[in-house]
Amino acid sequence: MNTGGAVPAIRRVAVISLHTSPLLQPGSGDSGGMNVYVRELMSSLSQTGVECVTFTRADAEGLAPEVFVEPNHRVVHIEAGPHHLPKEALPDISDQFCRGVMEWFERNGKPDVIHGNYWLSGVVGHHLKHALDVPFVSTFHTLARVKAEGGDPEPAWRDRAEAEIIQCSDAICVSCVEEEEQFRRLYGDPHGRIDIIAPGVEHAFFAPGDRGGARRAIGVDPGVPVVLFVGRIQPLKGPDVAIRAMAELHQRGFSKAKLLIVGGASGRDGGIEAERAHDLVDELGLHDDVHFVAPQPHHILSSYYRAADIVIVPSRSESFGLVALEAAACGVPVVASAVGGLLSLIDDGDTGYLIEGRDPARYADAMAAILGDHKLRDSMSAAAVQRAAAYTWSAAAARLHAVYEAIVGTELVSCHEDDDDADDDADEASLDPMKRPVA
């Protein structure tokens, strides 16, 4: 790699998003905030003249080989394994996926930077770095050790794979100071640089609006308090805490309050978790007060946010918390768990409340305080809008572009700093994280 002279211009970025496509609707399956992150961030970067190519696995028949999101941002579908595969089976087809990406490069030319999103993409990106001799950037979105601390342990082989990816990344992107501190505490200082790239929000869609009009649009009674939960139905997101908090809220005198749960089942046990959520509603006698809503197109979510008095985000762990940001941009106070990126998004007592622990009663206390004081709710709403205004995708793209410029043209981070044959070993190793040697 050239280490002297002028910094080369960033012409093409290869984004790896193996397990989920930025074209998919968030809220069900494996689609969530990461889909929005990749689509919006790369589209904003593409508007600066950088060609952005996002590679994802073709998970259905009949998909177009390439789809242009923006004139300079395309999504490429790579055929790798049977179309309908659970996320847990994707490590087995990562070699095939990587070969498909390499074939695209052979036809179209290699990129200046490879950017992997999530650990499965990092496994592929790590291999491509050595095969192509280009810088490698990682954004993990979630990490095994962070999830384990929140009560959601991951297999040991995922942790080993992430440790290997971290060791060889030229840059690692995190969303906020809290995530950086958490990363360094659990993984130590990486060999490459670590940069904060806070996600943005599309303010053209997510902005304050008429609550009454929003409620008419989604068919909600204009006279009742509304609490909104947006996210996939899985233990990590805490829908059970939201449901139990609603029962507690009723006991505090808000018997007419309704909870809307917008999202679908996610993960291998998603169907079971959704069934548990419905059973819990029946157990608590809330079948008239908790309404499950199918995942909505991203831009339509703004109507749900505007219709709500409060948005609840009781996640066990959260690298950033895009739902909390979108809610704030719409002027809705957020009651959220005091974890991860939510600590940087919510000003406790000013734009909402941060809750330590998993006790639904504490969430109910916070929601009752907001619902019972219109002046407090209005002041939180105004402060939330002002807080969210600082987060834009164009600013995030500018910061990311600076990261790319800083690593292109410099010496690449080596997985094995004392091993001259490290690159050859990496090329020959299996992409299966359960088989690859871990330094």
**317/335: higher pLDDT:** 335
The alpha helices in 336-408, defined as continuous H runs, are 342-345, 360-371, 374-388, 393-407
pLDDT grade for 434, boundaries at 50, 70 and 90: very low
Sole residue written with tokens 């309050």: 257
Structural domain count of the chain? 2
CA atoms within 13 A on the CB side of 205: 18
Residue 240 inside a domain? The answer is: yes
Question: Residue 194: what pLDDT?
Answer: 97
158 with 239, same domain: the answer is no
Q: Is residue 315 part of a domain?
A: yes
Tens of pLDDT along 331-354?
999 999 999 889 999 999 999 999
Please report how many Cα atoms fall inside a 13 Å half-sphere around the Cα of residue 362, on the Cβ side: 12
256-300 residue pLDDT tens = 999 999 998 876 667 888 999 999 999 999 999 999 999 998 889
Average pLDDT over residues 5-9: 60
With a cut of 80, say whether residue 358 has pLDDT above it.
yes
H helices present in 70-154, as ranges:
94-108, 119-132, 144-149
225 and 86 housed in the same domain: no
243 within some domain: yes
What does the block give as tokens for 234?
């899985």
- pLDDT for 32 beyond 90: no
Whether the per-residue pLDDT at 432 is higher than 80: the answer is no
Residue whose structure tokens are 């979630």: 142
Distance CA(343)–CA(357), nearest Å, equals 13
> In which band, very low, low, confident or very high, does the pLDDT at 28 lie, cut at 50, 70 and 90?
low
Residues 146 and 266 both lie in one domain: no
Q: Identify the pLDDT of residue 439.
A: 29
Question: Domain for residue 438, yes or no?
Answer: no
Handedness of CA 404, 406, 407, 409 (dihedral sign): positive
Instruction: Indicate whether 107 and 254 sit together in one domain.
Output: no
In angstroms, the CA 431 to CA 360 distance is 42
Distance between CA atoms of residues 8 and 408, nearest Å: 7
The pLDDT value given to residue 30: 63
| Residue-level pLDDT at 409 | 87
Question: Would the pLDDT of 12 be above 60?
Answer: yes
CATH value at residue 75 = 3.40.50.2000
Alpha carbons within 13 A on the beta-carbon side of 55: 30
- Do 278 and 366 belong together in one domain? yes
Closest CA to 125 of 113, 135, 112, 116: 116
Condensed to tens digits (0 to 9), the pLDDT of residues 421-430 reads 434 443 434 4
Distance CA 195, CA 230 (A): 28
Are both 111 and 89 inside the same structural domain?
A: yes
What's residue 267's pLDDT? 66
In a domain, 181, yes or no: yes
The better pLDDT of the pair 247, 59 is held by 247
Both 54 and 165 in one domain: the answer is yes
Task: Assess whether 401 and 383 both reside in one domain.
Answer: no
Asked if residue 334 and residue 420 are part of one domain, the reply reads: no
Query: What does the pLDDT look like over 369-399, one tens digit per residue?
Result: 999 999 999 999 999 999 999 999 999 999 9
- Let me know if residue 127 belongs to a domain: yes
Residue ending a domain, choose from 372, 388, 404: 388
- Residue 420: pLDDT band by 50, 70, 90 thresholds? very low
Dihedrals φ, ψ of 113, to 5°?
A: -145, 145
What mean pLDDT is reported for the chain? Answer: 90
pLDDT digit string, tens, across residues 201-249: 999 999 999 999 999 999 999 999 999 999 989 888 999 999 999 999 9
Long-range contacts of 55-58 (CB under 8 A, 24+ apart): 55/14, 55/15, 55/16, 55/17, 55/18, 55/97, 55/100, 55/101, 55/104, 56/17, 56/18, 56/20, 56/21, 56/22, 56/23, 57/18, 57/19, 57/21, 57/81, 57/90, 57/93, 57/97, 58/83
344 and 422 in a single domain? The answer is no
In a domain, 289, yes or no: yes
The range of the structural domain enclosing residue 328 comes to 211-388
Pick from 326, 337, 342: nearest CA to 384: 326
Contacts of 205 (CB under 8 A, 6+ apart): 298, 299, 302
Residue 307 resides in a domain = yes
Q: Which secondary structure element, helix H or strand E, spans residue 248, and what is its range?
A: helix 239-251
pLDDT of 254 over the 50 cut: yes
Encode pLDDT of 403-412 as tens digits: 999 999 899 9
* Six-digit token string for 90: 């994707």
- Say what the pLDDT of residue 29 is: 61
- 118 and 264 housed in the same domain: no
Angle at 210 between CA 322 and CA 204, to 5 degrees: 45
Are 402 and 384 in a shared domain?
no
**pLDDT of the residue at 2:** 45
Query: Closest by alpha carbon to 120, among 86, 82, 77, 79?
Result: 86
